[in-house]
Amino acid sequence: MRNQRIIWWIAILLVAGALYIISYFVWFTSAHEEEGTIMIILKSNSPQSDFWQTVRSGAEEAAKEKGVQFLVSGPLDDTDINSQLNALQDALTLKPRAVVIAPLNDQRVLNGITRLQNAHIPVVVMDTPLPVNNAPSSVSSDHVQMGMQAGRMAAYQTNSAPYVAIIGDYQSSSIFKAREQGIKQVLGAVANSHTTTYYSGESEQLAYVLTTKLLDEYPRPNALIVMNEPIAVGAARALKERHMDSMMFIAFDSSFYEIELLEEKTLDALIVQKPFNMGYLAVQKVLTDSNSLSSQHSITMIPSTVITPTTMYTPENQKLLFPFYEK
């Protein structure tokens, strides 16, 4: 019996030692591999987000072409600041070859990016340049240009007498500010133009209420420009209830619901980004320029496209409205 116990304890010690050795080498190898890995941190990694899944597809394609490993993370909801903060902390711990991030609008996220830079980890920002000193290089849609495109459409369709209502998401949004700047830059040069700005956050219902009130105003706006999908859906509901086909209606991006509104001609125009290009060029930049990113700030702007009900079926626009990516 005593010999059996000794043999049993020896066996346990041998197994424990083997597990320790295996876990050590797995940890060591993983840590070593992370040094050659790119971390891609999205605003939203939800399978339901067509836009961010297309960004992801472009980023992964660039990484595969360069033959580098990559890790993709991001919150399922683009309001989940803590998930993105955790991803930044992981990057600081793992010390990957580089980080590509589409940061959420929060000072803590900006602080996390600064800590990566201080740790000499190359960073490239997607979606919008950061309004901070020593900002990382960025790859972004040209949001001012997008606003200018919307402004031109409004001026043209209202015979150079646009009375434009703009419904944005949040006053603090840098993307909204850039688009509004572009709209007003164009319309400010039109003699008989007038613009008013409202905010509805991410609320479809508030957008519906705001649009309903606008339709009761006198004089009534003859053009409506909205900044995101929930606003577009809420505003469209109000316009359809009142049969307001005469009001010029312009929105940004290309969600499933917005494409439906364009197809049924409730929307007169969509200003569409190129998310695949954004992800692809961001990874290319962080790999190609990684040695100079810490000392050289550069901004790559990606032009957008105006799509109307009459142009939505061209091959080029179909690729933008229905991008291919693996779900």
**Backbone angles phi and psi of 178, in degrees to 5:** -65, -45
pLDDT given at position 134: 78
Return the CA Rg of the chain.
Answer: 25
Cα–Cα distance between 190 and 175 in angstroms, integer? 24
Q: Checking phi first, is residue 92 left (phi over 0); if not, alpha (psi -120 to 50) or beta?
A: alpha
Going by C-beta distance under 8 Å and a sequence separation of 6 or more, which residues neighbour residue 137? 123, 124, 125, 285, 286, 289, 293, 296, 297, 298, 299, 300
List average pLDDT for each run of 10 residues in the chain, which is 327 residues long: 50 46 36 68 89 92 93 89 95 94 92 93 89 84 96 92 94 91 95 93 94 92 94 95 91 91 95 94 86 66 95 93 63
Cα–Cα distance between 40 and 17 in angstroms, integer? 36
323: number of Cβ within 10 Å: 18
pLDDT given at position 130: 80
pLDDT given at position 34: 47
pLDDT given at position 129: 79
Tokens linked to 246: 């005469």
Cα–Cα distance between 189 and 151 in angstroms, integer? 10
pLDDT given at position 289: 67
pLDDT given at position 49: 84
* DSSP calls for 241-255: HTT-TTSEEEEES--
Give the side-chain half-sphere CA count within 13 A for 1: 0
- Which of 133, 66, 77 is closest to 100 using CA atoms? 66
Cα–Cα distance between 31 and 94 in angstroms, integer? 7
- Which of 146, 305, 316 is closest to 227 using CA atoms? 146
Tokens linked to 20: 């320790």
Torsion on CA atoms 114, 120, 121, 123, rounded to nearest 10: 50
H runs (alpha helix) in the chain: 2-34, 50-66, 81-94, 107-118, 143-157, 174-187, 204-215, 229-241, 256-263, 275-288, 315-321
Question: Which residues does residue 41 pair with via DSSP β-bridges, in sequence order?
Answer: 73, 101
Whose structure tokens read 């304890």? 9
pLDDT given at position 294: 52
- Which of 248, 257, 208 is closest to 51 using CA atoms? 257
> Could you give the strand order of the β-sheet that contains 123-126, starting from the edge strand earlier in sequence?
69-73, 37-41, 98-101, 123-126, 137-141, 299-302
pTM above 0.85, yes or no: no
